[in-house]
Structures are given as structure tokens and as C-alpha cells.
Structure 1
Amino acid sequence: MLKLIIDTDSGVDDAQALMLALAHPATEVAAVTAVGGNVPLENVVPNIFEVLHVMGAEDLPVFPGAREPLLPGERVHATEFHGSDGLGDYGERRARVRPQKEPAAVALARLARERPGELTLVALGPLTNLALALRLEPELPRLLAGLVVMGGAHTARGNTVNLAAEFNFYYDPEAAGIVLEAFPRTRLLTWETTLAHPISWEEHEQLGDLGTPRSRFYRAITAHTARVLAEKGFPGLLIPDPLAMTAALEPALVQASEAHRGYVETCGSHSRGQLVIDYGRSGRAANVEVITALDREGVVELFRQALTG
């Protein structure tokens, strides 16, 4: 049984990833931690509970975390893609929002100590909560069973105002750098891998037509993002966080990956937040596994199974 903590800045693709995990028959989600990123934390927490409500998991503990990155400075939320509320401007809110009082970083450290070697962390947003938890518990990399992160652009093909930076690393570069340096191996699902593995528009329509409450929720929350992507000429729905979740839930669907030493650039007018890959020049041991290919049909089938339930 895979046992997860999910750290999320719950936008649309985060919601999809949560659904995949909560529906997976061989997975236990122990807790969800919330971080500001795609939208402010005030939106993230209600979005998480809305997903839990749809999935029948409202008793799952949710721990609010960092509202801001480690260092002050201007950041741009991703509401263009996720809607003003982060959930595609979803209007049918029914969930009771009852977060825990314990801060996310404290909860991460505590849960890891209470269940050493049991819990895998899947981080879907900026890594602020995890960086703070590392300061509280430096043994966290040893206490967690593994770490999967959606973040970085391994060929510097960014998607932010910092041209070489992916959003999650752009939002808190210092946190991303702290995490990569602390963990001996982080599995990274990057922006370039996201671009290479969309759900085709035909498949997207089929998933929204399954006739279940989960399928209808999927269609409702993705409508805004799908429209924006289609207008920009993308061949399908981009699913960065579900791809990262797939790597955790079904490792056999990962078809190719590369092990390298990875750093995060914290300076540069165009490169702050860039994932910098060392192709062996420093002689330092690899600390990131960059996932470059997945079984795309297998990913779509995971969606189908989760939305049929």
C-alpha cells in the first residue's frame, strides 16, 4: 500500500492529481498540506476541500501552510490558466471547509517522525512548506520513503516571466534549492515532460462525458483551462500535476528518466528559478531523477478509472 502526503497549491491540475490519488485502490492519502502558489492560500484550502467532497474524503486532515515564499518579492499567480478561484471559477461549492490548526510544515515534520520510512511526499506546488519542514526536521529526507515533485524545466523552457523557469520553482526558488540540496534523490516531473504528454482534446471530451459526478466535476473545473489552452493552439489538456502523481501511483508507467545533479538558480533577470542540470561536470552525485517519458495511454486510463468511480 502506497502511503502519501500531498502538498498542493490547488489549481485545476492539482485537483485532478488529488482525484487520481484518492481513487487509487492501492493508495492511502494520510494528509494534504496547502501552500500558496497557483492562487493565494485563502483559495487553495477551500479548493482542496471541494475535491475531497467530490471524492467522499472530507475527513482527511488538511493543514494550511505558507502563504508567501521564503523571500519577499513580486510573484504572479497562475489565475490565467486556473481561473480567479484556482478551480476554473467553479460555482457549485458544497464542501465544508474545516482545516487543521497545525501548520503544514510542523505537520510534515511530525507525520514523518511518527511514521518513519512509510510516507511518500508528492509536492505539486511551490516547495515552501517542505523547505520550512526541513528546518524543523533536518532528518526529513531519511524519514520519508520518497519525494516526487512537479517542478523545474530541465531544458530551460520555462512558463513564467522568468523565461527559463517553471512556475513552481519560479514562485519560490530558495525553497526549491533547499529541497534539491537536502534530498539525495528527488523524482522530478518537469514542464517539458508536461508539454510532451497532453490529454488529447478527444480524450478530454470523453472523460467529461462519463456520466458520473466525478466526471461532471472534472468537466466543470477544466472548462476554463481547456478554453485557454485551445485558444493558444495546444493539442490537448496539459496535466503537469497528474503526471507527477502518476509517477508516484504507478511507477511502471514511467518509460524513461535521467539521473543528474540539479541546482536551482536564485539570481538572474531571466533565469531566477531555473532548474540547472549538471551533466557530470562537477563530479557530484546525482540528486534528481528527471522523468522524460510516460505511458500516455496508461495515464488516460488512470483518469478514466478515477472518474468512473
Structure 2
Amino acid sequence: MKRVFAVFVCAAVLFCGCGKKVDKKMQTTREEVIPVIIDVDTGTDDAIALAFARKSAVLEVRGVTVVQGCVGLEQAGANTLAVCDHIGLQAPVALGAQRPLVGEPITDPVNHGESGLGSVELPQPKMEFSELSASELIWQEAQACEGKLQIVALGPLTNVARALQEHPELKEMIARVVAACGEGGENHPIEFNAKNDPEALQYVIDSGVRLTIYDQQTTEASWGFDMGTTKDGRYTSTLNVLAEKYPDNTMTPLFKGVGKSWLGNYLYSVYPIIWLNVNEAHNDLDYQNNWVRLCYDWCRVTCDTSTGPNRGRTTFTIGEGGPVQWVFFSSTSAFLEVDTLAQCYQ
């Protein structure tokens, strides 16, 4: 009789779905779901950023658009499909610009490897590209989301600029563009995404669309001090440490392959996704009674579009009531965030 009852209970659990695997999500302080399109040139940092977006409790990924950048468009597209398929991100993937608005494209094989994904090797994806172009997918989702759509631009801003050019009314239909671009001052190297297509960045700025720029220096405080030690005492990157900690994790192939690249401990694109998930960058946050400024609201920003050595350099003017929010510091611990991400993919 007890055996019959046990079988009955198990069947009831399976029937009601209680035995299904729970899709664990990253914690958030937000309450409203944010519909987003993520625009990528999928190199090493974008791959991890897509994994974060997939597990965000608050981001609804309506689509992924692909732009030329650290690698050419064809390779970036192949990388994006493979990563989305591997992490289970079921969203349309649309190809966009093959070249910048002006001039020739530049790539970044030194930091991302020739393939863009370091030494990452993923299975052939089952997913296929959307029949829509990147611009048309952005336009379609902007209409469907009724003014709530946000675009997270993690590569050069060519796709965003083209969408605004082709659909001028789009600027009134997008809640915000969050862009990973720009550097923190003239003493810093010119940031890659701005340098790749400065005309596109300037066009987006001039369009008047609400824009948050996530400065590349935001990553230095977290990634630069979050390197760890492996089991045998080797000093290595955060991702290599986590690959050893979670040997059978879905993220482990990405951690291992990306961890070998120069950017394996400096994943710039991850931070805008984390910021959107928790919205940490409010001014005057109190950290143990020390007031810390993380961003400046409504700056004026220009991007150098000359052909000289400063091409792509961004200049921020604070306090002039411009259309740009500038995020230049993050208190987020990279190690803790990526450790939590790995747990979500167990």
C-alpha cells in the first residue's frame, strides 16, 4: 500500500510540473520588466554579456542584432548564433552593418582572437538568422513595445545609427540606448567601439534619443582587482578560477576559452547588462558613509570624427544639460557577479 501511495505522489508531482528544473535567474532590485534588443559584435566580452542577459530576472530580450566590430559581420554573426544556442537564449538574431558609416572597419584580433571568441569552441548552432535586417528588427520591436524598448549597444553604434536614419520617428519610440563606448579622459586610450565608427556614435548623440554611455574605465576597478588563484596556486583570471570551480557547468566552455584571451579578466560589455539588471549607478550612493559618485546625468558629449590621431575620442562636458548620462564607475565585484552567473547555469 505504501509503495502504491509513493508512486501516486511521484506521478502527481510530475503531472503538476513540480519536478521541472527551475530556470534560476540573477537577482534584481528592479520591479518592472525591461524589453531590450542587444546589439553585439560578439567577441569575448559580448558572449558573457549575452549569458548575463539570458539569466536576468528583469530583462526581456526581444532580439539580438549583430554589427561588424572586433571581427567582421559574418564571423560576429556565427559567434552570436553559437553563443545564443549554447546558453538557450531564444530570441531572433538579425544581421546588420558590414562596415562603419564612414571609412573602413577596424577589428581587434589581439584582444579577442582571430575568431572573436578567443579559444572558445562551441557546437554548430541549430538556430538561424532572422529574415529581418537589424534595422527592421529594431523598428518592429520598438512598435511592439510601445515606447518601452531599450537598446543595449555593446559594439560600434552603426546599427543603431542606421535604424535612426531609416526610421526618424524611432527616437521617440525608444526609451533609451545604453551604449558601451567612450573613455574616461584624454589620458586613457581611445575606446574601440567609438574608434570603429565615430560618425555613428555622434549621430546617435545628435539624434536626441535618451542615451546612457557606459565608459570603458568602469571595468578597471572590478576586473583589475578580481584576479584569483587556482587550486595549484597559479595566479590567473577570474574566469579560469570559475572554470575550475564549476567543471561541468554550461558556462565552463566560455569561461575556459575567454579566460585565455587578454580580455578574459576585463569584460567590458558585461557591465551595462549588470547595471540594467540592478540599476546601481545612482549618484551619491553611501558606501560606509563615504559618498561616491558613479555617474553624471545629462552631459554634453562629442566624438572626434576627424581623420587625425584622436579619431573616436569622446569628450564629456558636465553640467550643461545635454542629453547623455555618463556612467564612469562601478562598485560591482566581477568575481561575485560571474560566480552567481555560473550558479544560474548549473
What corresponds to 1:305 in structure 2? 340
Distance 2:267 2:138 in 1: 26
What corresponds to 1:290 in structure 2? 326
Distance 2:267 2:122 in 1: 23
Distance 2:144 2:127 in 1: 26
Structure 2, unmatched stretches of 5+, are 1-32, 229-237, 286-293
> Deviation at 1:279?
3.5
- Greater Cα radius of gyration, structure 1 or 2: 2
Alignment equivalent of 1:113, drawn from 143, 157, 162:
143
Tell me, yes or no, if the aligned pair for 1:122 and 1:248 is still in contact at 8 Å. Answer: no
Counterparts of residues 184-263 of structure 1 (less than 5 Å)? 184-198=209-223, 200-202=226-228, 203-208=238-243, 209-225=245-261, 228=262, 237-252=265-280, 256-259=294-297, 260-263=299-302
Distance 2:183 2:42 in 1: 20
> Deviation at 1:190?
1.1
Structure 1, unmatched stretches of 5+, are 160-164, 230-235
Tell me, yes or no, if the aligned pair for 2:296 and 2:318 is still in contact at 8 Å. Answer: no
What corresponds to 1:232 in structure 2? none
Alignment equivalent of 2:314, drawn from 249, 259, 275:
275
Distance 1:2 1:37, change over 3 A: same
> Deviation at 1:168?
0.3
Per-residue CA deviations over 1:128-149 (Å, capped at 9, x if unaligned) read 0000000122222321122111
> Helix, strand or coil: the match of 1:132?
helix
Distance 2:341 2:248 in 1: 10
Tell me, yes or no, if the aligned pair for 1:127 and 1:172 is still in contact at 8 Å. Answer: yes
Counterparts of residues 64-83 of structure 1 (less than 5 Å)? 64-73=95-104, 75-83=105-113
Alignment equivalent of 1:144, drawn from 139, 158, 174:
174
Per-residue CA deviations over 1:252-295 (Å, capped at 9, x if unaligned) read 36651013111111015111111122245xx5x22221112222
Identity %: 26
What corresponds to 2:116 in structure 1? 86
Moved more, 126-135 or 252-261: 252-261
Distance 1:35 1:249 in 2: 23
Distance 1:278 1:295 in 2: 23
Per-residue CA deviations over 1:52-111 (Å, capped at 9, x if unaligned) read 122122x420000001001123x4311111111101132343322510121101211221
Alignment equivalent of 1:61, drawn from 92, 97, 100:
92
Kindly indicate whether residue 58 of structure 2 is the aligned counterpart of residue 26 of structure 1: yes
Distance 2:73 2:307 in 1: 27
Tell me, yes or no, if the aligned pair for 2:281 and 2:327 is still in contact at 8 Å. Answer: no
Distance 1:76 1:69 in 2: 9
Counterparts of residues 112-131 of structure 1 (less than 5 Å)? 112-131=142-161
Distance 2:64 2:305 in 1: 28
Distance 2:254 2:120 in 1: 10
Runs of 4+ in 1 over 4 A off after TM superposition: none
The number of residue pairs the alignment matches comes to: 290
| RMSD, aligned α-carbons | 2.0
What corresponds to 1:182 in structure 2? 207
What corresponds to 2:7 in structure 1? none
TM-score, normalised with respect to structure 1 = 0.87
> Deviation at 1:215?
3.0
Distance 1:12 1:198 in 2: 14
